Amino acid sequence: MTGQAETTKATGTTVPLLSLTGIVKQFPGCLANDRVDLTVLPGEIHALLGENGAGKSTLVKIIYGVLKPDAGEIRWQGEPIVVQNPNHARRLGIGMVFQHFSLFETLTVAENIALGLTDAADRKGLRTRIAEISRSYGLHLDPDKAVHDLSVGERQRIEIVRCLLQKPKLLIMDEPTSVLTPQEVERLFETLRRLAKEGCAILYISHKLEEIRALCERATIMRLGKVVAHCDPRQETAKRLAEMMIGTALKAASHQARGEANGGPRLEVKTLNLKSEQQFGTDLKNVSLAVKGGEILGIGGIAGNGQAELMAALSGEMLAASPNAIVIDGTHAGKLGPRERRALGGCFVPEERNGHGAVSGMSLSENAFLSGHIRRALARNGLIDSGKTAGFADDVIKSFDVRTTGPSAEARSLSGGNLQKFLVGREVKQSPSVLVVSQPTWGVDAGAAAAIHQALMDLADSGTAVVVISQDLDEIFALADRIAVIAEGKLSQAIPIGEASVEQIGLLMGGMHGTSGGRDVASA
């Protein structure tokens, strides 16, 4: 739909583009949507807010035709309709960017996007149109790159571009700005506002509440499957929005150090050069950093600039050329693997929850054993100590308020936020001397994010050196004592958080490392 919002001739009132009434969806043991009402007008930017498990994903899957409601009515442009499947939704003019991606890893970016285009004519000049959309939205996307070589953030860009190529009347966006610099976020917002002015409605899901306040005109807030509030987010604080989502007061995380850590570094990286194992990966170039006990170093950057390689180098999944390139508590660890680094006191939370951080088909007890058996001594005489392992998993579940049936539950049965709390808790509960965590609150709701942030701050306050690799600048500014930026495999000089500005960090994320004589170093 283009132009101004349509109105009825009789009354002059706006006809909703989308109207849901009494939507119910039941899964075994879970009422995901409980008589949900939602109205989206043409040309409005409407936020859908709620914790993980609140029912947002189920609701938008119903709108997009992935799921069928058990009860209730859907009206599209005023007419009752049953959305048969996603192809039907796309023909109607509904586009959706999923948080969890539906991509074929062996195909290229362009090939994946082509699969979503039902009309052969739409595939003509596709590579050029992908490049044009990428430039328009401030995204970088190589049409010829294979998906299996892309980071999580880069994969999200494919979903955004694929959706926008279809020129939808209703655009559903789930966490679309996780891979953008602040400058690119503003460019995206300008584009979304332009689309809305032309009549395209946008249903916007994000856990970045300041984004919601800056962009959205109306918000529908869900909790435990029900709609609990409507508001104009521009008139609310981010804290108030979070409290409406979780149904209780939100306590701000606090951290003592803020750059005042004493003593020598517990983690050092010295002029690390490392060639990426991925064909289209990013090589690390002269990366140096040092983190003291009690300190949190935040590393920002756009996805695909060497974060995956840096995480692999720090965890021991990729070995350095020399032992002294990485030092943990005074021990040269550059040539040591993950097991040996854990024995030295290192713990690690990777970016990808499923398949890397956890084995989805294994129980939480088994996943607790995978990384905790060394530091928590969960094996005896070469055999798994099942009771001790289950006790460790149960301790993590209770300490981090992981919503699950217990240690025997499979990892795949947890929501994304609860699995993330479990993985962070599994590492924190090992009392590491060094903790490196990548994207600690990716796709996590406000309540879970606050719990994770407080856990990281408490760990630092206990004397651990903490490194947080994140694409969320708000998160880094809330957590870190110092911030460095990784761009094209180079790490900028670390800046005390009180001296850093969002604009300055955004420029660094774009590759402008200043005139440091070629020496990009983050050190104490």
pLDDT digits (tens, 9 = 90+) for 146-167: 988 776 667 778 888 888 888 8
Looking at the predicted structure, is the pLDDT value of residue 216 above 60?
yes
Q: What is the pLDDT of residues 110-145, one digit of tens each?
A: 999 998 777 766 677 899 899 888 887 767 788 999
Domain endpoint, select from 382, 403, 428: 428
- Tell whether 455 and 513 lie within a shared domain: yes
Computed over every residue of the chain, the mean pLDDT equals 87
User: What pLDDT is attached to residue 153?
Assistant: 64
CB 270 within 8 Å of CB 288: yes
SS3 percent helix, strand, coil of the chain, rounded to 5, is 35, 25, 40
258's torsion region: left (phi>0), alpha (psi -120 to 50) or beta? left
On the question of pLDDT at 7 being above 50, the answer is: no
Asked if residue 263 has pLDDT above 50, the reply is yes
* Whole-number CA gyration radius for the chain: 23
Q: Per-residue pLDDT for 252 more than 50? A: yes
The answer as to whether 46 is a domain residue is yes
Q: Based on the domain organization, do 73 and 210 belong to the same domain?
A: yes
Lowest mean pLDDT among 52-66, 194-208, 248-262, 487-501: 248-262
Q: Is residue 351 part of a domain?
A: no
Per-residue tokens: 310: 């840096």
Indicate if 232 and 294 belong to the same structural domain: no
Residue 235, Cβ density class (10 Å: 0-12 exposed, 13-18 middle, ≥19 buried): exposed
SS (H, E, C) 80-130: EECCCCHHHHHHHCEEEECCCCCCCCCCEHHHHHHHCCCCHHHHCCHHHHH
Note whether residue 110 is domain-resident.
no
Q: Which of 172, 232, 242, 250 is nearest to 445 (CA)?
A: 242
Asked whether 153 and 302 are in contact (CB, 8 A), the reply is: yes
Same domain, 310 and 443: yes
Residue-wise pLDDT tens digits, 461-501: 999 999 999 988 888 999 999 999 999 999 999 999 999 98
With both helix axes pointing from N to C terminus, report the angle between 416-428 and 446-461 in degrees, rounded to the nearest 10.
10
pLDDT for 90-119, tens place per residue?
A: 999 999 887 667 788 889 999 999 987 777
Q: Kindly indicate the confidence band of residue 444, based on its pLDDT and cuts at 50, 70 and 90.
A: confident
Domain boundary among 216, 250, 284: 250
Q: Are both 282 and 421 inside the same structural domain?
A: no
Residue carrying structure tokens 């300055």: 504
**Looking at the domain assignment, is residue 101 inside a domain?**
no
- Name the nearest CA neighbour of 463 among 289, 254, 297, 263: 263
Count of domains observed in the chain: 3
421-437 per-position pLDDT tens digit: 999 999 999 999 999 99
- With respect to residue 325, please indicate whether it lies within any of the assigned structural domains: yes
Among candidate residues 428, 450, 475, the one where a domain is terminated:
428
Q: Is 69 exposed, middle or buried (0-12, 13-18, 19+ CB in 10 A)?
A: buried
Contact partners, residue 119, CB within 8 Å, separation at least 6: none
| Percent over 90 (pLDDT), the chain | 59
One domain for residues 241 and 255: no
288 and 222 in a single domain? The answer is no
Q: Residue 286 belongs to a domain with what CATH number?
A: 3.40.50.300
Owning domain of residue 70: 1-87+203-250
State whether 329 and 445 are in the same domain.
Answer: yes
Q: Give me the residue label for tokens 């979903």.
A: 159
Residue-wise pLDDT for 291-326, tens only, equals 999 999 999 998 889 999 999 999 999 999 999 999
In a domain, 353, yes or no: no
Helix axes 364-372, 386-399, angle to 10 degrees: 100
Answer yes or no: do 268 and 317 share one domain: yes
Q: Among candidates 281, 225, 205, which has minimal Cα distance to 32?
A: 225
The Cα 275–Cα 282 span in angstroms is 7
Read off the pLDDT of residues 37-62 as tens digits, 9 standing for 90 and up. Answer: 999 999 999 999 998 778 998 999 99
Percent of the chain with pLDDT over 70: 89
Considering the domain architecture, whether residues 339 and 467 belong to the same structural domain is answered as yes
Q: Does any domain span residue 190?
A: no
In a domain, 100, yes or no: no
- Same domain for 83 and 41: yes
* Pairing between β-strand 434-438 and β-strand 346-349 as defined by DSSP bridges: parallel
Q: Which residues contact 421 (CB under 8 A, 6 or more apart)?
A: 400, 401, 402, 444, 448, 451, 452
Q: Are residues 339 and 451 in the same domain?
A: yes
Averaged pLDDT for residues 233-242: 93
- Asked whether the whole model's pTM tops 0.85, one would answer no
